[in-house]
Amino acid sequence: MGNSSEVQSDRHYDRGKRFVGRVKELMILDRWFDHPEAPLTIFSITGMGGIGKSSLLSEMLSVSRNRGATSIWMDGRSCGSTPSVFLEYLSSTLGLETLGSESHLRPLSSLSETSVHKRLVIAVDNYEELALLESWFMEVFVNKLSSSGVLIILASRSEPAAAWRTHPRLRQHLVQMPLQHFTNEEVSEFIAGAGLVNISMAGTIARMTDGHPFGLALAVEAADHRRNIPLAEWAELSYMISARLLLELTLPSLHPMIEVLTLLETANQELLSSVLQTEVTLGEYLALKRMSFIRSDPDGLALHDLARVHLLRDFRQREPQRLQAMRVRIAGLLLPLHAQAGPHEQRQIARRMLLLCQESMLQHRQYADVSTEALFSPLEVMREGDLPLLHSLLEEWCEYSVEPWQAGPYRPFLDELAQRYPEGIVLMRDQNGEPIAMFITVLVHRESSEMLLRYFPAEMEECFSQQELACDPDQTDTHFAVLAAARDNVPGYRREELVGYMALDRLSLLGDGARVMLVATNPNLKLFLQSIGFRMRRTRTRICDRYEDQADVMDLDLRNGLFGEWVMSLLDPDKQGSRLPYEATSEGADGVPWTESDLRKMLAHLHSPGELHTYAARVSGVRDGIQLQMHVLDLLEGRAHGISQQDQMLLYAAYWTHAGNPTAAAQACSMSRATFYRHLRTALIRLARVL
């Protein structure tokens, strides 16, 4: 797909969909294959969502295979956040591509055996997801590749980082391909090639879509499906991409499959059948595959990102309970697959499971709030010109996060990190492209730890052993979280909502079996982290304390064993038994675990502060029964954040307005007693996490 005025290219995807345009970009690919020396080259394909990056990537791989090159496709979302995971993914992908050849048993040997006559093409879609690995990818991985016979194609929304454009060696090998909307000629060719029955609508489609490839594909499909509908009605409907439009383009029999795809990044025919508990026929699967807003990848079918956002929002608003039930069912199906899978496949399944439970992961809104859906682009790695604004963000963060004497190291640290490991700084931007929030994490290994020890020696000694600090860069699996900073004057969003959005994005990095550690002083941060499974231990010294707030070491270790149980405890607390799972860290302030029975007894005395006094010591920051009563009522009446509105309603009815009368409480909540008891138990478990 492209914007060249040259003779148009007319090709087809391997999935049977017509490929139009992008002649300029494909000619550059052809020139590389015709080059007698085939020098190491990096294509950077960039552009907005729906502009056709993945389509061009797919076409380039098809051309490369036809030209005899070993050609592999990798998804940045599955590449992991550590070098070892990336190399495992690369090895397994190369192994499949070279199946039956001598290289099959030693797939990574293909990297060193490339030449003009034995070429290798590595395509990475969603490259922005490799943000934490970008420095290693450039300085270690790419620098170790052969100087000839290798082509790397990177597709991402944002332009390549300044480090690529200024690199002393790689900049001369970088070819930037920013994609634009279709030209009028390409729009006409696309419409003509689609076989549109109502050809009189072609001009309207061209004008209304303005050459946006994804919008164009949807509009053509809508026009073909709605050929008997008055033009004015169709035009109003297709003015913007919406859930209504997407569903109207889909046969009703395919709607259940579309719902599954809104919750999974990818799903094949077998997984769709398992989730829906009915056979998805080959005909239905192929019908899905032909739809304009569904694409194929090596693991099955996937919704276009823009389509998934609209459909998921619509599903959530229409049927939130059925949506949650489907999440739990899918996670239950993935759990045994995760336990049985090999290392790389296991990490891919882990990512899917994390995506399912994201909305259940953040109950404590005083630090991070995801109740409002943010309309921002994915987090980006910082650019060279961002540094002054990042320092402003940092100054604001220091004012409310550390004591004045502790703030000094952060300024030079930010400068050095931006120079050496810019991938550790990810940003949210406003509509004008200016940074409004940043999240800093650093992969801990022998090179980065030297820098971290200079700026934060006390924190490093609290968190890591000398052996962990001396880890080889290719073997590291631990992130040190430094800070999350956000502006507090963004129209429509509170600081806590921006931090919540970033936290969800960064937590997804742990799906490949990694660990994250940090030193926390903010009580709300500690509660938030504990509610999603972080363990907490006291620091050995008081050097890291902030005023009256004591510092604690927080860690979440998903490197082995309990990942599946951890995800299920977040997604479906009903299945975890009366004693809350250890990963949920439901201990009271006195270190004694809360049980469901304890909570019921405590809440039964909610009207009697004197009786509550015996429980006060188990809640942080509470001295007596009166304070405990006020604290709980603040939670149940919504004055303090932490539990959902439904949980507030259930607990308030059961233990305050209709205490001792479960029939009246159930009626007040418009539920049967059985349904009321089931949801009440879940609400108790969530309240325990907050307390």
Average pLDDT of the residues in 135-145: 85
- What pLDDT is attached to residue 106? 65
Average pLDDT of the residues in 523-534: 81
C-alpha 479/C-alpha 424 separation (Å) is 10
C-alpha 350/C-alpha 337 separation (Å) is 10
Query: What are the residues facing 297 on neighbouring strands?
Result: 300
C-alpha 557/C-alpha 553 separation (Å) is 13
- What pLDDT is attached to residue 180? 81
Q: What is the CA radius of gyration of the chain?
A: 27
Helix (H, G, I), strand (E, B) or coil at 470: coil
C-alpha 447/C-alpha 454 separation (Å) is 12
* H/E run at residue 428: strand 425-429
Q: Which residue, among 283, 302, 41, has the nearest Cα to 172 in the 3D structure?
A: 41
- What pLDDT is attached to residue 202? 63
> Is 261's pLDDT higher than 80?
yes
Average pLDDT of the residues in 614-626: 78
61 Cβ contact partners less than 8 Å away, ≥ 6 residues apart: 71, 72, 73, 121, 123
Question: For 179-238, how does the pLDDT look when each residue is reduced to its tens digit (9 = 90+)?
Answer: 888 777 777 777 776 665 455 566 666 666 666 676 666 666 666 655 444 444 444 433
Encoded amino acid at 669, one letter: C
What is the Cα 507 distance to its own chain's centre?
A: 8
- What pLDDT is attached to residue 392? 93
C-alpha 44/C-alpha 158 separation (Å) is 10
Average pLDDT of the residues in 649-673: 82
Encoded amino acid at 223, one letter: A
Query: Residue 670 is encoded by which pair of tokens?
Result: 């418009």
Helix (H, G, I), strand (E, B) or coil at 492: coil
Helix/strand/coil (H/E/C) assignment for every residue in 256-281? HHHHHHHHCCCECHHHHHHHHCCCCC
Residue 646: CB atoms within 10 A of its CB come to: 15
> Among 86-95, 245-254, 292-301, 393-402, which stretch is predicted with the lowest mean pLDDT?
245-254
Range among 184-198, 324-338, 450-464 rated most confident: 450-464
> Among 8-12, 54-58, 533-537, 627-631, which stretch is predicted with the lowest mean pLDDT?
8-12
Burial of 345 (0-12, 13-18, 19+ CB in 10 A): middle
Helix (H, G, I), strand (E, B) or coil at 156: strand
CA dihedral sign, ordered 246, 251, 252, 258: negative
More confident residue, 461 or 691: 461
C-alpha 417/C-alpha 565 separation (Å) is 35
Contact present, 691 and 683 (Cβ < 8 Å): no
> Among 53-57, 142-146, 221-225, which stretch is predicted with the lowest mean pLDDT?
221-225
> Is 161's pLDDT higher than 70?
yes
C-alpha 80/C-alpha 598 separation (Å) is 41
Question: For 362-406, how does the pLDDT look when each residue is reduced to its tens digit (9 = 90+)?
Answer: 555 566 655 555 445 567 788 878 999 999 999 999 988 888 888
303 Cβ contact partners less than 8 Å away, ≥ 6 residues apart: 258, 261, 262, 293, 294, 295, 311
Question: For 162-174, how does the pLDDT look when each residue is reduced to its tens digit (9 = 90+)?
Answer: 788 888 888 899 9
Q: Which residue has the tokens 């035009």?
A: 235
Tell me the whole-structure pTM to 2 decimals. Answer: 0.50
Distances (CA, A) of 219 to 196, 207, 239, 524: 11, 11, 9, 47
- What pLDDT is attached to residue 641? 66
Average pLDDT of the residues in 19-37: 88
Query: Residue 538 is encoded by which pair of tokens?
Result: 């006291």
Distances (CA, A) of 112 to 145, 169, 243, 346: 7, 19, 48, 27
Buried b / exposed e along 114-123 (16+ C-beta atoms within 10 A): beeeebbbbb
Residue 7: CB atoms within 10 A of its CB come to: 7
CA dihedral sign, ordered 54, 57, 63, 68: negative
Q: Provide the H-helix boundaries in 290-386.
A: 305-318, 320-340, 343-357
34 Cβ contact partners less than 8 Å away, ≥ 6 residues apart: none
- What pLDDT is attached to residue 607? 84
C-alpha 502/C-alpha 427 separation (Å) is 8
**Any idea what DSSP says for residue 368?**
-
Query: Within the chain, how many helices (H) and strands (E) appear?
Result: 31, 16
- What pLDDT is attached to residue 599? 84
> Is 3's pLDDT higher than 70?
no
Range among 103-107, 136-140, 466-470 rated most confident: 466-470
**Any idea what DSSP says for residue 144?**
G
Angle, in degrees to the nearest 10, between helices 645-652 and 625-636: 130
- What pLDDT is attached to residue 239? 39
Torsion of CA 438, 443, 447, 451, to 10 degrees: 40
> Is 464's pLDDT higher than 70?
yes
- What pLDDT is attached to residue 105? 55
- What pLDDT is attached to residue 42? 93
Contact present, 390 and 425 (Cβ < 8 Å): yes
403 Cβ contact partners less than 8 Å away, ≥ 6 residues apart: 546, 547
Contact present, 553 and 340 (Cβ < 8 Å): no
